[in-house]
Structure 1
């Protein structure tokens, strides 16, 4: 009698493989890229302003300033004749500027089950979410430094109410103010006028030579890549850094791009900001740096909750006359 055998069912990747005694998983046939791609963003605040740390959970920050005066003015008042029976007196007037602070706070929640599952893939869910907290903090600081928080009535580097706002000269092709329509010399004239105006407002104090210029990325990339002439090897940026008023007077000028200058001017035109990047003239404060304040288990939601907090100041401008804006570039 013939011995008939039932045909075997086809083996799929989910079925057990008799040769190994195990099972192939669908995921094992994938090539997994271990790199986790985080969101793209631009964070430049730490480059463009001094950040000081410390101070605690205060509600305001104060800064003292002083002005001096001599009876009869410092020009003719101290001039004395022989036999004079009196001398003019020096007087001091102390003032105090107040700056607002605000608290930054964000929570992190890790599900117990998700945390247990993450052990199988060799990644820390807590670590990934912590990076998200840091990114949220840095993006908050970027807005706080450049624009301020309008909800709390604060301003930043690019919209300070005490800064002088001007338009650059309309010397370009067709009386344009745009740098793309100007020659390298005309762009240099705009830069030098801005530097001279800001320095002159500080009575040409040798410690108050402007050293920082902020531009939108479009204008920065234009001067970075455009040659002074068709036959030259020098770009417009090289030309500006070599021939500006600040460098010629012993300073060290930085010209840097930031996305916040785009449409920051009056009428939503592009803005150039000129100032002195030095703690004596302006700064922002991390009164309490970003801190992992507390972590506790949450039995109701089967998770661990963590709170992060910081205490931050608004941008503090101590010499408003040295901060200048030039629109229309």
Structure 2
């Protein structure tokens, strides 16, 4: 009876290979996608010693003269001259310690090196994957245990509702919905900033890419929107539309959410302390090394420049 090796040493990846067996030496890693580094800029001034990342927001108040809500006119004989008041508020967010220990025995390490798949480098790649997956979730939706939110579910931003889903909308209706969202961000910021970035769920992104807007059939809605919204005409650069898996079901009632914002650390950023390691520790025939870093919470410095639309 033909039998196959069942005594695989999983931690080292050493297998019994038969004479007529051709083993592909390629390491096929798990299929995982993370996009946090594309959609948010880092605040890099934080250190491993910091417990909180914070910033200040200034507000000004000034009364006019002679009318309190008018301009500051003065007469040549004026003795009472109005001034200006400043209010500075502080916003703070937790910086949470993240860590993982990697370990292997010397026989495992030697066996894995002999077959060309070093266990130490494989575990390091796995740890990097987990770090990026955790960061991805932290950036987009935050963490319920820590009580912090991410880009797509900030409590300071009130979402609007689409008139209908993109699946039931024409190209013109989808374009109108996106322009409505961009205009909402523009209005909220006192007409100072038009959002230049748009995050949408993957299905809606695929729909825009496949919807044709030209009668000649040579231009998709996705390409058309890049230069035919108020974002392009106001900012002078194409609207940057990107798919994000976390936007699916993030809206009120589990609906899909679309987000407009400006990817600039002046308006929104993410504090992070990159991974560091301690020297390798030896415990008998074991080798252990610990990696650690810190993940903060998305800092919406100007929430007025962000806008959500649910039900797309």
CA distance in 1: counterparts of 2:100 and 2:143, whole angstroms? 17
CA contact (8 A) 2:53 2:271 kept: no
Indicate the SS of the match to 2:33: coil
1:193 to 2:180 alignment: yes
Q: TM-score, normalised by structure 2?
A: 0.89
Query: What pairs with 1:213-232 in structure 2 (closer than 5 Å)?
Result: 213-229=198-214, 231-232=216-217
1:266 to 2:255 alignment: no
Provide the residue aligned with 1:141 in structure 2: 135
Provide the residue aligned with 1:282 in structure 2: 268
Residue deviations 1:291-319 (CA, integer Å, cap 9, x gap): 122320121xx311110100121111111
- Give the superposed CA RMSD: 1.7
Query: What pairs with 1:137-176 in structure 2 (closer than 5 Å)?
Result: 137-168=131-162, 170=163
Provide the residue aligned with 2:37 in structure 1: 46
CA contact (8 A) 2:97 2:295 kept: yes
Q: TM-score, normalised by structure 1?
A: 0.85
Shift of 1:122: 2.2
List runs of 5+ in structure 2 lacking aligned partners.
1-15
CA contact (8 A) 1:45 1:141 kept: yes
Provide the residue aligned with 1:127 in structure 2: 121
CA distance in 2: counterparts of 1:229 and 1:272, whole angstroms? 24
Residue deviations 1:88-138 (CA, integer Å, cap 9, x gap): 112211111111110111111112211111232122110011000000000
Q: Which has the larger radius of gyration?
A: 1
CA distance in 2: counterparts of 1:327 and 1:34, whole angstroms? 46
Tell me whether 246-255 or 131-140 shows the greater mean CA deviation: 246-255
List runs of 5+ in structure 1 lacking aligned partners.
1-24, 171-176
- Poorly superposed stretches of 4+, deviation over 6 Å: none
1:324 to 2:304 alignment: no
CA contact (8 A) 2:103 2:287 kept: yes
Size of the aligned set, in residue pairs, is 293
CA contact (8 A) 1:164 1:323 kept: no
